[in-house]
Structure 1
Amino acid sequence: MRYEEFTLEGRNAVIEAYRAGKTIDKLFVLEHCKEGSMNTVLREAKKHDTVINYVKKERLDQMSETGKHQGVIGYLAAYEYATVDEILDKAREKGESPFVILLDDIEDPHNLGAIIRTANLAGAHGVIIPKHRASGLTATVAKTSAGALNYTPVAKVTNISKTIEELKKEGMWFVCADMGGTTMYDLDLKGSIGLVIGNEGKGVSRLVKEKCDFVASIPMFGDIDSLNASVATGVLAYEIVRQRMGK
């Protein structure tokens, strides 16, 4: 299931990776470059639904370790992604109500790894991340997860809001973390539940928040105004665990 993460530089390296069935998380491509084999790179990227970032030559030169990028640099995922259905299947196999953690643009790979680790320990059946703007399953994420990526499936979706809508049809309901919400101790967090955690700086986006059934806040008594995203995930996840255990 696992394969080593590394940076791909050059058109042939990227094309061969696609043809070998590797998952490329992100592609950085020289803007306005569409000649020759670059067309093949772009065609393969679109076929595999890879996120493409068009950048200036200076950016590619800064990123390049070999100096031979030929206008394209790709990042392989450190682990294969699961599907949302596979996450739900895991809950069914265990005979449990689904418990899923959805991340609305977590950018720091250390946060993502820590959240996956918490998800595993709290008994969540999987984690769902967005395809764009957020961190993917890099080697840093794998290392920070402390092995949890071997057991906790992570799915990557195009649109978190749409995924929430689809999962509601499966009988799930959703709670998102926000300082302006109802204290988590006053909410019923049992049953088939999705916990939504927002971006480190901006929090949960308005569109995603609107799709959630409840907004939960964590009681705080200190002098600063918020918790780290991975810590907030842990606090809320374990309130869900407490309620699921009937304590």
Structure 2
Amino acid sequence: MNPTRYARICEMLARRQPDLTVCMEQVHKPHNVSAIIRTADAVGVHEVHAVWPGSRMRTMASAAAGSNSWVQVKTHRTIGDAVAHLKGQGMQILATHLLITLSISAKLITLARPAF
């Protein structure tokens, strides 16, 4: 590997956001799972969590465009297991909901948290 490429990879890894992650539940299509992993990689998320009650989570390597090499995917059997794991890491849990009556404006959420 040439030194310029190595320096670029090191620079990108240094910009990762260890205090931000994604947890997905009930995403059954491998193409969609891969798209989430690819998007997480694009914004600097280095770890994605998936609630996957089955034996093995499937992704589409072609759709992930190499992101599978850079993003760690951790699986959990239940949403409770995932939440407990994330809270154990000191993560703030924010969730989406499609019903407008249950929604809170993103402007009302404090995203600033103490650094690790």
Counterpart for residue 184 of structure 1: 106
Contact 2:38 2:65 in 1 (8 A): yes
Q: Tell me the TM-score normalised to structure 2 length.
A: 0.69
Counterpart for residue 171 of structure 1: 90
Q: Higher relative contact order by CA 8 Å / sep ≥ 6: 1 or 2?
A: 2
RMSD, aligned α-carbons? 2.6
Give, in whole Å, the separation in 1 of the partners of 2:55 and 2:26: 5
> How many aligned residue pairs are there?
98
Give, in whole Å, the separation in 2 of the partners of 1:115 and 1:124: 11
Counterpart for residue 58 of structure 2: 137
Runs of 4 or more consecutive aligned structure 1 residues displaced over 3 Å after TM superposition: 93-97
Instruction: Mark the runs of 5 or more structure 2 residues left unpaired by the alignment.
Output: 1-13
Structure 1 residue 99 corresponds to structure 2 residue 31: no
Tell me the CA shift for residue 112 of structure 1: 0.7
Tell me the CA shift for residue 105 of structure 1: 1.4
Contact 2:15 2:44 in 1 (8 A): no
Give, in whole Å, the separation in 1 of the partners of 2:20 and 2:109: 16
Q: Percent identity?
A: 23
Contact 1:109 1:135 in 2 (8 A): no
Counterpart for residue 59 of structure 1: none
Q: Tell me the TM-score normalised to structure 1 length.
A: 0.35
Q: Which amino acid counterpart does residue 186 of structure 1 have in structure 2?
A: L
Give, in whole Å, the separation in 2 of the partners of 1:150 and 1:113: 12
Find the residue that maps to 2:95 and give its secondary structure: strand
Tell me the CA shift for residue 109 of structure 1: 1.2
Higher strand share: 1
- Bigger Rg over Cα: 1
Give, in whole Å, the separation in 1 of the partners of 2:31 and 2:86: 27
1:86-125 matches, within 5 Å, as 97-125=18-46
Q: Which amino acid counterpart does residue 148 of structure 1 have in structure 2?
A: S
Give, in whole Å, the separation in 1 of the partners of 2:16 and 2:45: 13
